[in-house]
Chains A and B, each alone.
Chain A
Amino acid sequence: MSDLVSKQQAAVTLAGDPFSPTRDPHHGHPPHLAHHFETPEQQYSSAKVGMWVFLATELLMFGGLFCAYSVYRHNHPEVFEFAHHYLDRSLGAINTIVLITSSLTMAWGVRCAQLGQRRGLVLCLVLTLIGGAGFMTIKTIEYHHKYVEHVWFGAGNRYSKHYQGPSINEGPFGGHQSESALRMTEGERQEAAADKEMMAPTTQPTESFGPAFVDPNAGTPDESKIKPTQVIPAGLSTRVRPEVGEEVRYEDLPQFEKDRVSTFFNIYFLMTGLHGIHVLVGMGLITWILVRGARGAFGPLYYTPVDLVGLYWHLVDLIWIFLFPLLYLIH
């Protein structure tokens, strides 16, 4: 009897010691409720606000890339109209559908977790994973085509000044997106070289057409530091304005636009690449909750991780919803 009492006393002592390994770690509350929260409800809503703040920073991070895209497209619309022909819009559309479908299965998975349907949750998460893998497979096919056709990023882009690859008339160009109009012939290359020659340091712009630039603030401290290099007559644009329905061809682009074609691919790879990394991270997270869910960790009382990973996955879908028309569907 005295033995039992001493055991009870020992238990009380241990329970009061927060560092004891044998104390009840949850002292009466559900195992998923952290000590610093009053109720599971409070914990759940705190977690969700935290996730949304994180998603907000994600939106802002992609916002920087969308800003670069907007400025570049605004200033060089015909570069986009030319360069987007290298993107396969069927593959882009298929990927959109794949990602939307995986969003549906993810949302359904959250529903299963809420209802405590373990098998449904596992099935939905596996389908979502397959969707993510399918998306990345198609993306890899697209990237591979661009690598093979030397429209890669940086120096791997045939339109880049720093292009290091083989001459574009050689090499293994497949049938994919290989309309001859998209490629420069040897003559065009010479022409482009001649264009560069024109801009060589020996030549000076001798005359500008139109009236000379008049700075209204000349002589004052507000005088503009940057003078326009060329004043063009009002109503004229230096840009190519193809007729409606006419495709922009590389040969039609002025030299300073030709020099910028490779920037389109840099933007494309940066945006879709960062998005692809997010897909991979999302797949990792889904695998994690899949393992936990298969062990029965989630139910109506606790499904926060499933919900938050779902939010992340939907955000990835949401960003692709903007990337697809902006990159692939340029008229």
Chain B
Amino acid sequence: MSDETIEPSSVAAAPGEDHAGHVHVVPPWLLLAVFAALLVLTFVTVAITHFDFGRTVNVWVALGIAVAKATLVALFFMHLKWDSPFNGLVCVTAMFFVALFIGITLLDSKETAVNFQPPPVPAARPAE
């Protein structure tokens, strides 16, 4: 939190206007560091497909890297790290419900459709 923060006095704020006091300016080195981390993770996620950990593990590894990248973007590029926690709550809630939606649907899919095959063609009805 000791990053550059514009002091209200430096921007000649109008009386009662404390908006400027809440400006959090992300320092350039942090932006570049996040960018570099995102590039490295992109490289890793491509490179990792050359290793076979099995079908399931590969998906989870790819998803884990994607979640790490998304966290970096949300925390630093989208300012969630310095924002009101309520904004983060909104974001996390949306993610939670998406996960719930997909998870429960997959559970059901697992129960009913593992060996799903197209139904056999019904027997020809006797002519009436």
Chain A residues near B119 (CB-CB < 8 A): 229
Q: Mark B83-95, 1 if CB is under 8 A from A, else 0.
A: 1101100110111
Chain A residues near B113 (CB-CB < 8 A): 75
B123 at interface, CB cutoff 8 A: yes
Residue in A39, A49, A325 whose CB lies within 8 Å of B86: A49
Chain A residues near B23 (CB-CB < 8 A): 114, 300
* Consensus secondary structure, chain B interface: helix
Interface residue count for A (Cβ, 8 Å)?
A: 75
Distance (whole angstroms) from the CB of B57 to the closest CB of chain A:
10
Interface hits, A187-245 → B, CB 8 Å: 199-201, 203-205, 228-230, 232, 237-238, 244-245
Q: Mark A84-106, 1 if CB is under 8 A from B, else 0.
A: 00000100010011001101101
Chain B residues near A40 (CB-CB < 8 A): 17, 19
Interface hits, A34-80 → B, CB 8 Å: 39-41, 44-45, 48-49, 52-53, 55-57, 59-60, 62-64, 66-67, 70-71, 74-75, 77
Given the contacts A100-B39, A331-B58, A314 and B19 also touching, CB distance less than 8 Å: no
- The answer to whether A232 and B18 touch across the interface, beta carbons within 8 angstroms, is no
A149 at interface, CB cutoff 8 A: no
Cα distance, A307 to B28, chains bound together (Å):
16
- The answer to whether A301 and B117 touch across the interface, beta carbons within 8 angstroms, is no
Distance (whole angstroms) from the CB of A125 to the closest CB of chain B:
15
Cα distance, A321 to B63, chains bound together (Å):
10
Chain A residues near B18 (CB-CB < 8 A): 39, 41
Given the contacts A67-B101, A104-B35, A74 and B110 also touching, CB distance less than 8 Å: yes
Residue of B with least CB distance to A303: B23
Cα distance, A114 to B87, chains bound together (Å):
20
Distance (whole angstroms) from the CB of B25 to the closest CB of chain A:
5
Cα distance, A280 to B35, chains bound together (Å):
23
Residue of A with least CB distance to B89: A52
- The answer to whether B70 and A301 touch across the interface, beta carbons within 8 angstroms, is no
